Structure 1
């Protein structure tokens, strides 16, 4: 059993598609399929159920996935640990990102990191179901680092470092009935047609929880898993209103932001494993993100 075979197996197991997995590991699909078949023959088990339109892991495949991820991670950490002998950082950092970062300039940090450490590859992941899914990926080694918006749990084995925190404001057009108000209570917004993130996103949970605390249910008609440019456009066209972090509202000078009587605080955390076997490259990127967040607060 070779590490390359395990890498191909994990690519298929994560994507549940031979086509997407082949693209991810940069090989032709036939070569990837042959490698998986040889691995199954060597282990004398079937790893994937191919009898349906959507492939699935067999119980044996599920068991192998648990161990394969740790084996691959261990091999990568062993290779990356030799950076002192090479004179420069190498390796790969799997980084789970957010749709929006507030005042934290993540693209600049990534650019600075690449300039300083050109031999390190950063693989960026963007969850379409919210950053809470990153917790499991950090715990099992699928991700090295992740940005998590307003986590609702702080699991053991994961270090969560607060990078940024700011208030969210009710955002509307200048001709909205509440646009001239100094503050607005959440109870006055029960009938608003809201533009928000899908359920599962941290910002959406914060808004839903604020309404629930007032015994209300928000009317979120537009769910947009993108940055605030799309909600801003919908607001401009009188289709709804939204809740935005103050730093995001600053991008849209034609919109009005009204503070809430009971503030909604939005936080961004950096999640990483508590264990000491984090790769030197991931540790360096984490340090740069923390430093950038501290500078942004000055």
Structure 2
């Protein structure tokens, strides 16, 4: 979660995108290859942060330096200071609601679930259909043991954008991430069959136009979670046929990772089963 928060901060302060980091929601966060920063890459920034920390109450105007300060505080486990600076950033950039969202994520990460829920609810009151807010809200509810509420929230958002009565109607809203959220909440509740059924429904509907690879990848992750690595690889191969170059590159990395797991699996591969997806 530290890596995700740092990536999001960098995108927000330097003009990047927030939503792309959570393309498939929590599944991707647990499956994407990690990026580890080297010591040499942060040495200069650490010195600047050290000098800044000797001046309490002073915040840098340079967004990169402020990012380094927050990142250092996160790495040192000083979540309170990082939270306070995120709140300050939000006051400086009130149009960037994502900063308040990240502050709520810090509250959640530190176990302050009630405070995190209240902060997200205040943001949802202003933007009730915001997907990023809904994701965090559902996660908080699940961690509070309120799985039924989490599924109800996700299902209501999904029904609003899905519009099953008019499958031919064009919509400006990308409904797929809402469906992935509901499927993931159901998976988290142990309702694997219901999650898989929803993903099948999404896959079938997407094939009416141009196949969307995202439900296929989510279904592959569901299979992988359940230990069916061969089926997971087959679904990744199908998703690869419909992905853009960036998606294909990410899928190849994920496939190689799962191929290693398949190699070390205790059961032998069934004769006639297609081999794992190979990278080009």
TM-score by length of 1: 0.26
Structure having greater relative contact order (Cα 8 Å, sep ≥ 6):
1
- Which has the larger strand fraction? 1
TM-score normalised per structure 2:
0.27
